[in-house]
Structure 1
Amino acid sequence: MKHLKKEDRDRLEVLAGGVRLAVIQSEHRADELTAELHGEFPWLAPATEVVWRAMRRSVREGWPGFRMPPLLLDGPVGIGKSVWARWLGTLIEAPSLVVEATNQNASFGIVGSQRGWSNAAPGRLMQNILQHLCGNPIVVVEEIEKAGPVHSGKGQSFDLVASLLPLLEPATAGSWNCPFFEVQFDMGWINWVLTTNNRHLLSEPLRSRCTEVRLQQVGVADLVGFARRQGRRRQLSDLSVEAIIAALEHPDTRARRLSLRSVIRLLDRAAELERDPMPI
């Protein structure tokens, strides 16, 4: 790493002793974790089943950490795909990183940019590992189909999807070259979750690297159950939880398409009102 400035060598010094990997201790523990994940998001059972199989395989193969195939979760807007992925990270005690392709559709946002650019910096992926010292975080790329082409004024391409391809392929992820540090890192343990509302808009090279999981719309009963569980977890009063459920079950609400985002907003608002009640 002699080509690096001292300040950059110092930033990488934290990796001298390696990083930890979130590990699944036993197949029984895999069953427990996925049962909890399913209990929180029963309507996302197809995705949870893939995680369950990956957890059990990690144990059987004797891997030093949990690793699952890159997931492509395809389903309607607002059913909780990203929330599910973040909760998975919480359960296995791995950090999560969420990238919104609609707002950050250039490659340097996630993988970094080469030196020579005025805003050159490591990408969010590398920053996450340096911050948490965990080699198998849950990395979520939301609405990947909306990541359009990005070009510099000189015609150079900074396509987000193209930059992800070597990271999604096991053969190349294990010796990934960071554009900023110009040092190779093993990114083969990262757990990728890509979400989309229409998988047919994605390129074949991307889809071929992922396990596609088709998901359905979430129903009112599932949203009510989620509100009850989250209400208990947030220690909301019974009155607040019942008010949220009444709103979800109201005929006018049912006439509209409900989403998990709506429920989370209601929960956030209830917590805010209980913490800082409005003056009468």
Structure 2
Amino acid sequence: MRATQRERVMQQLAALRHRCGLSALSENSPNALLLEMLATHAQPPESLAPFCSEFRAALSARLDDKRRAKHLRAAAGMLPRCGDALAWPTEAKLTLLEFAASLDARPKDRLDLVMFGLEALHAQTGIDVVVPRHGPPGLAGGTSAAEFNAMVDRQIQALCFRAVREVCARRPFIGWSMEDLNAALFAIRYLYANMTRTVLGEFAIPKPRQEDFRTVGQPLWDALRDAATSLKLRQPDARLLGDEDWHQRAQAAVYLSIRSPRTEVAQELALSASPVQGPSRVVCRRPIAPSSDRFDKEEVERHRILEHPLPLALMPQRLALDDARYRLCQEFPWAQDVLDIVFDDLLGRSAMGALTLSMPPTLLVGAAGSGKSRLARRIAEQLKLPRLDLCLAGSSDTKMLGGTSRGWGSSKPGDLATLMATQRTASALVLLDELDKAQDNLRQGLGLQAYLLGLLEPETASRHTDVFLKTECDYSGVLWLATANSLRDIAPTLLTRFRVLMLRQPGREHLEVIAQNVIADVANRWGVEREALPEPSELRLPLDHLQSARQVRAATEAAVTEWARQIQRH
């Protein structure tokens, strides 16, 4: 090179060194000396000639920052192709990429630099990794892992801060591509899982960082997600990372990783290696809000399992459904038309390949003593679902489903959330007994009937708020079965949510079957074998004078008790 050209190149290298401020660019480092030698050498090695040409072009004084960054990235991309086994190409590539990022700070370009650093550290590098991790402490080739990790942390912090500034703009994320949005989402996950800072760069211990994630990180995440959804509508070919369920589960995984970033807790929640076999669902897709109260804290910890994927009830096979219908028809011969509707629907779903157990909310309506409450319980038992029995007669309290606010002596989560946490399942059956007798004022939106409107719609049931847990619960896997004596006192808007099935009164020919069922129930309560108790014919029941199933039940229980008393006397 001519002297004037060499002097200009040396000035540009000095400016690069000053602007980047990396130890790898100190004047005495081997890396800086090699870059200077290659940039100023008149005849570089043949294998490095393309790199040198591109590198010199990047140092031209006539370029703006964007074009200079483009040349620097192109030069960095040529380094690995030189075939040199020394460690300096990796260090030189790191130097050039970080300088290019400082000139043209596109989120995607910063992510490329992060991925290069993580790849050099042999760490997880996929953009779809739920909880990405730092690399190991050692690295071959003479470059310390600490330097690479520090570079990754700088770029991650810059990405998060750029997203924060952008979301506060008048028109947020204008000009951002889908790759830019995915880069910012990756940065949020990486920051909270690995770094001791918040999004705004403040140092914090795990508990404040958890609160920061809940109040800053999650809203920023949701804003990026909304921007990606809007961009997808304008650019159908853009690759949108994950669906809504993926992002909500990922938020729960990142929140858990803040408490113990070096354990496998969050990795167990990763979508690629879910510990639950078969269909599963996260009931609390967003992290449960922590509590400082000792008693409330114990309840919160008991329900942390709801932040993990929990199994959904599987649809039974056709043979199992046919057996269940046969047994119920033997117990409730007067309800065969009702059972046909219920089980034909289940058999149809099974034949179509449905994996999870589901059926529409069902209301059994019948006169007092028709056995509708027992039939509902037996259907739940045959489906082998955890059951929550709620007797609504005279009740207007919604706390059993929505929980009680913290700070009160009786504060607790809703009974349905507790059932799922205790049984470790995302499926359950709620039995609403005596729905027509629930105290309600639907016009003012008060009472149980008004409260149930949202729970019986799949869309709103998937984001039902529990006031104690302070998060949304996904109850879309819950089956609803209700009973009522009449439809008169049930609001029309609520009736539209139910499949209404009318249950006939049992005839006289069915009374002996009812007596058989009552004796079986008594044997179960007493803890004895059914064969130990007498048959209905041995009890001399006055079936000809009884009018309803309730009367048969009362008479049969009294007769069995008297029979047992007579046995004791003898």
TM-score normalised by length of structure 1: 0.83
Which residue identity is paired with 1:241? P
For residue 117 of structure 1, report the CA deviation from its aligned partner. Answer: 4.1
Higher relative contact order (CA 8 A, sep 6+): 1
Which residue identity is paired with 2:537? E
RMSD over aligned CA atoms reads 3.0
Distance 1:96 1:157, change over 3 A: same
Pairing partner for 2:386 from 77, 85, 95: 95
Which residue identity is paired with 1:53? D
Distance 1:198 1:25, change over 3 A: closer
Q: Per the alignment, in what secondary structure is the counterpart of residue 247 of structure 1?
A: coil
Q: Per the alignment, in what secondary structure is the counterpart of residue 65 of structure 1?
A: coil
Tell me what 2:269 maps to: none
Pairing partner for 1:247 from 532, 541, 544: 541
Pairing partner for 1:221 from 509, 512, 515: 509
Pairing partner for 1:162 from 450, 455, 470: 450
CA displacement 1:149-169 (0-9 Å, x = unmatched): 38xxxxx97511111111111
**Residue 495 (structure 2) pairs with residue 204 (structure 1):** no
CA displacement 1:11-67 (0-9 Å, x = unmatched): 123335433333233233322222222221121223312321232233234333211
Which residue identity is paired with 1:179? V
Pairing partner for 2:548 from 246, 258, 273: 258
For residue 187 of structure 1, report the CA deviation from its aligned partner. Answer: 0.7
Tell me what 1:49 maps to: 340
Tell me what 2:431 maps to: 140
Q: Is the 8 A contact 1:220 1:248 kept in 2?
A: no
Q: Is the 8 A contact 1:65 1:136 kept in 2?
A: no
Q: Is the 8 A contact 2:541 2:556 kept in 1?
A: no
Which residue identity is paired with 2:556? L
Per mean C-alpha deviation after superposition, the further-off stretch among 189-198 and 105-114 is 105-114
Tell me what 2:312 maps to: 21
Tell me what 1:192 maps to: 480
TM-score normalised by length of structure 2: 0.43
CA displacement 1:62-85 (0-9 Å, x = unmatched): 333211111111110121112111
**Equivalent-residue separation in structure 1 for 2:306 and 2:452 (angstroms):** 23
Pairing partner for 1:70 from 361, 375, 382: 361
Which residue identity is paired with 2:289? H
For residue 96 of structure 1, report the CA deviation from its aligned partner. Answer: 1.9
CA displacement 1:91-149 (0-9 Å, x = unmatched): 12112222111153311133322334442222222222222223332211111111113
Distance 1:228 1:25, change over 3 A: same
Tell me what 1:3 maps to: 289
Distance 1:135 1:271, change over 3 A: farther
Which residue identity is paired with 1:204? P
CA displacement 1:214-247 (0-9 Å, x = unmatched): 1211123212113235546841456453244x31
Aligned length: 271
The residue correspondences of 1:228-243 to structure 2 (distance < 5 A) are 228=516, 231=519, 234=523, 235-237=530-532, 239-243=534-538
Per mean C-alpha deviation after superposition, the further-off stretch among 38-47 and 162-171 is 38-47
Per mean C-alpha deviation after superposition, the further-off stretch among 129-138 and 264-273 is 264-273
Structure with the largest fraction of helix: 2
Pairing partner for 1:107 from 398, 412, 415: 398
Q: Per the alignment, in what secondary structure is the counterpart of residue 199 of structure 1?
A: coil
**Equivalent-residue separation in structure 1 for 2:368 and 2:376 (angstroms):** 15
Q: Is the 8 A contact 2:445 2:451 kept in 1?
A: no
Q: Is the 8 A contact 1:111 1:123 kept in 2?
A: yes
For residue 265 of structure 1, report the CA deviation from its aligned partner. Answer: 6.6
**Equivalent-residue separation in structure 2 for 1:220 and 1:120 (angstroms):** 49
What residue ranges of structure 2 are gaps of 5+ in the alignment? 1-286, 292-296, 524-529
Q: Is the 8 A contact 2:512 2:536 kept in 1?
A: no
Pairing partner for 1:37 from 311, 324, 328: 328
**Equivalent-residue separation in structure 1 for 2:329 and 2:432 (angstroms):** 21
Q: Is the 8 A contact 2:519 2:556 kept in 1?
A: no
**Equivalent-residue separation in structure 2 for 1:264 and 1:19 (angstroms):** 42
**Equivalent-residue separation in structure 1 for 2:537 and 2:401 (angstroms):** 41
For residue 210 of structure 1, report the CA deviation from its aligned partner. Answer: 0.4
Identical aligned residues as a percent: 24
Q: Is the 8 A contact 1:89 1:138 kept in 2?
A: yes
